[in-house]
């Protein structure tokens, strides 16, 4: 992955953790929290998504994912299922409405990526390397804060 794409991925992560970036499209995402949108995103990407897999991908507790998934089930955005040979494990899949949210979320991200890639063309490779180093370090702060926040909730 080139430097501009790496910078962009980190920048989007930072934006999503701030009040600046909102996943609000033309009404489709208005009634859904950012955590719910990201949970939908992982359900759409993971093979046989369950609470444990989603928890690992999102960096949240299983209890947190259980609460989010219950809200998504209640909103009709996901449905649960079990494999015939495994009655113990509960998996999730997107409903038609959930797939619409998933698609809209991807569309929003793709639009943001394209806009930022144009922006980063104004910087040389050396400048992009400095920006990448900066955002990598800032992004690590968000990871540390997120880990500390989640640990503090369970003490």
pLDDT score of 17: 60
d(CA 121, CA 101): 31
d(CA 15, CA 7): 12
Structure tokens at 149: 């926040």
Predicted confidence (pLDDT) per residue in 52-101, tens digit: 999 999 989 999 999 999 999 999 999 999 998 888 899 999 999 999 99
pLDDT score of 29: 63
Exposed, middle or buried, 95 (CB in 10 Å: 0-12/13-18/19+)? middle
SS3 call for 74: helix
d(CA 142, CA 147): 8
Domain residue spans in the chain?
3-153
Please provide the CATH number assigned to the domain covering 3-153. 1.10.10.10
Phi and psi at residue 92, to the nearest 5° = -125, 150
- Which residues have a Cβ under 8 Å from the Cβ of 142 and sit 6 or more positions away? 13, 14, 17
pTM as predicted: 0.70
> Maximum Cα–Cα distance for the chain, whole Å?
56
């Amino acid at each position: 992955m080139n430097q501009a794409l790496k910078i962009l991925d980190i920048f989007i992560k930072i934006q999503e953790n701030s009040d600046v970036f909102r996943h609000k499209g033309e009404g489709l995402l208005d009634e859904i929290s950012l955590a719910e949108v990201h949970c939908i995103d992982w359900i759409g990407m993971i093979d046989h998504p369950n609470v444990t897999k989603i928890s690992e991908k999102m960096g949240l507790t299983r209890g947190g994912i259980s609460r989010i998934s219950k809200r998504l089930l209640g909103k009709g955005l996901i449905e649960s299922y079990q494999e015939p040979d495994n009655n113990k494990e509960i998996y999730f899949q997107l409903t038609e409405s959930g797939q619409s949210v998933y698609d809209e979320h991807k569309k929003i991200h793709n639009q943001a990526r394209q806009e930022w890639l144009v922006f980063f063309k104004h910087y040389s490779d050396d400048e992009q390397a400095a920006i990448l180093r900066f955002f990598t370090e800032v992004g690590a702060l968000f990871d540390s804060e997120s880990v500390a926040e989640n640990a503090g909730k369970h003490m």
